[in-house]
């Protein structure tokens, strides 16, 4: 059994995929997702795990004829492997323009909502994506370069709860890209030029082509070293976030300043972030400096003091409680 199959198998077991599981596999047609689908079908044939596999392909309509050729390629692959394929298509560029949002973020949002809908339609409990160890290392490094704290350095999550009983899992997260390519070569699998190689993400490409090779020259097992650090950081983060949730429990929209102030520093940061993400429903555009300002407001602020947050939100300290409110444009102008 190839190293990819071994690692995929132990990941799937750890991530709770069993003989009775139904899964949806996201397939772009690149090397990673082609190998994942092929290896998964191979395992199903040999071991009967998982019970059912549905492939899902999302056409972003971003590269004209090339996007259509990707879709046709995935259709042919699914036919050959005797796997049902669900396709979705959306004009991502138009959606981004209409919503005045970043293209990549819009693409991700639409893609994941398609995958979620597909899982729901198929009664699947798991959505599989083919992120690999190289993606993990690149993400870790990009976040380190950007100044992320421990929660960012934990990297790509092997498992994300999507709600409604569906979990996103990444069973190739410990498999190197070179091992994916070796798998494709070994089984003579064709794949479409990986879109990530032509990614518009300039920093990621530079990290991949300049930084990672230098780090591997220091330690040929650098990728595994980062993966280990990310795993340990994820374990810490999980525990710390659970403890931080206890700090804000029963706060029902408001946050008790005294309770926050008496918590250890490691929990304070996380409690503020968690509280804000619940009260404001998103952390979009919130930066570390905003969270620090809220922490300071709770600990040292005097009653009636205010912290302005992105998107017209405002946090206030009143009678020892932090609250956050959205001010509409009219109110803001009146101020």
Residues of this chain that interact with a copy of itself (CB under 8 A) are: 144-150, 153, 203, 206-207, 210-211, 214-215, 218-219, 221-222, 224-226, 228-229, 232-233, 235-236, 238-240, 242, 264-267, 269, 288
**Measured from the CB atom, is 149 or 310 closer to a copy of itself?**
149
Minimum distance of a copy of itself from residue 30's CB (angstroms) = 25
Closer CB to a copy of itself, residue 153 or residue 257?
153
Whole-number minimum distance, CB 40 to a copy of itself, in Å?
A: 28
Residue 78's nearest CA partner among 116, 121, 26 is 26
Task: Give the nearest distance from C-beta 140 to a copy of itself in angstroms.
Answer: 9
Q: How far is the CB of 218 from a copy of itself (least distance, A)?
A: 5
Nearer to a copy of itself, 38 or 237 (CB): 237
Q: Which residue's CB is nearer to a copy of itself, number 107 or number 240?
A: 240
Give the shortest CB-295-to-a copy of itself separation in angstroms: 12
CB of 87 to a copy of itself, least distance (A): 38
Residue number, 130 or 153, with CB nearest to a copy of itself: 153
Closest approach of Cβ 4 to a copy of itself, in Å? 22
Residue closer to a copy of itself by CB (options 229, 245) is 229
**Alpha-carbon separation of residue 120 from 40, 44, 56, 86, 294 (angstroms):** 20, 21, 12, 12, 39
SS (H, E, C) the chain: CCHHHHHHHHHHHHCCCCCCCEEEEECCCCHHHHHHHHHHHHHHHHHCCCCEEEEEEEECCCCCHHHHHHHHHHHHHHHHHCCCEEEEECCHHHHHHHHCCCHHHHHHHHHHHHHHHHHHHHCCCEEECCCCHHHHHHHHHHHHHHCCCHHHHCCCCCEEEEECCEEEECCCCCCCHHHHHHHHHHCCCCCCCCHHHHCCCHHHHHHHHHHHHHHHHHCCCHHHHHHHHHHHHHHHHHHHHHHHHHHHCCCCCCEEHHHHHCCCHHHHHHHHHHHHHHHCCCCCCCCHHHHHHHHHHHHHCCCCCEEEECCCEEEEEECCEEEEEECCHHHHHHC
Q: Which two tokens stand for residue 73?
A: 């390629």
Tell me whether residue 74 or residue 153 sits nearer to a copy of itself (CB atom).
153
* Bridge pairing between strands 22-26 and 126-128: parallel
Q: Residue 138 CB, nearest distance to a copy of itself (Å)?
A: 12
CB closer to a copy of itself, 83 vs 137:
137
Q: How far is the CB of 248 from a copy of itself (least distance, A)?
A: 17
8 A C-beta contact, residue 31 and residue 195: no
Nearer to a copy of itself, 90 or 236 (CB): 236
């Amino acid at each position: 059994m190839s190293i990819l199959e071994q690692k995929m198998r132990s990941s799937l077991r750890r991530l709770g995929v069993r003989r009775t599981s139904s899964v949806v596999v996201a397939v772009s047609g690149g090397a990673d997702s082609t190998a994942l689908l092929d290896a998964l079908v191979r395992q199903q044939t040999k071991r009967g795990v998982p019970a059912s596999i549905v492939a899902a392909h999302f056409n972003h309509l971003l590269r004209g004829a090339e996007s259509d050729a990707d879709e046709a390629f995935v259709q042919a692959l699914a036919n050959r492997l005797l796997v049902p394929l669900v396709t979705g298509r959306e004009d991502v560029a138009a959606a981004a323009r209409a919503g005045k949002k970043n293209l990549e973020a819009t693409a991700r949002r639409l893609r994941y909502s398609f995958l979620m809908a597909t899982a729901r339609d198929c009664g699947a409990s798991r959505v599989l994506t083919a992120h690999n160890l190289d993606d993990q290392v690149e993400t870790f490094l990009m976040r380190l370069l950007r100044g992320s704290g421990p929660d960012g350095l934990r990297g790509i999550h092997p498992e994300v709860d999507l709600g409604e009983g569906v979990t996103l899992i990444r069973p190739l997260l410990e498999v190197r890209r070179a091992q994916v390519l070796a798998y494709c070569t070994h089984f003579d699998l064709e794949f479409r030029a990986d879109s990530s190689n032509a990614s518009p993400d300039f920093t990621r490409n530079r990290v991949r082509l300049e930084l990672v090779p230098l780090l591997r020259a220091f330690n040929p097992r650098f990728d595994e070293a980062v993966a280990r650090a990310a795993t340990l950081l994820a374990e810490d983060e999980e525990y710390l976030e659970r403890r931080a949730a206890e700090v804000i429990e029963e706060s029902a929209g408001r946050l008790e300043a005294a309770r926050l102030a008496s918590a250890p520093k490691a929990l304070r940061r996380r409690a503020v972030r968690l509280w804000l993400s619940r009260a404001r429903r998103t952390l979009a555009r919130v930066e570390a400096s905003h969270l620090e300002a809220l922490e300071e407001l709770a600990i040292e602020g005097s009653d009636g003091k205010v912290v302005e947050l992105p998107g017209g939100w405002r946090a206030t300290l009143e009678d020892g409680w932090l609250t956050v409110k959205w001010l509409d444009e009219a109110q803001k102008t009146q101020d």
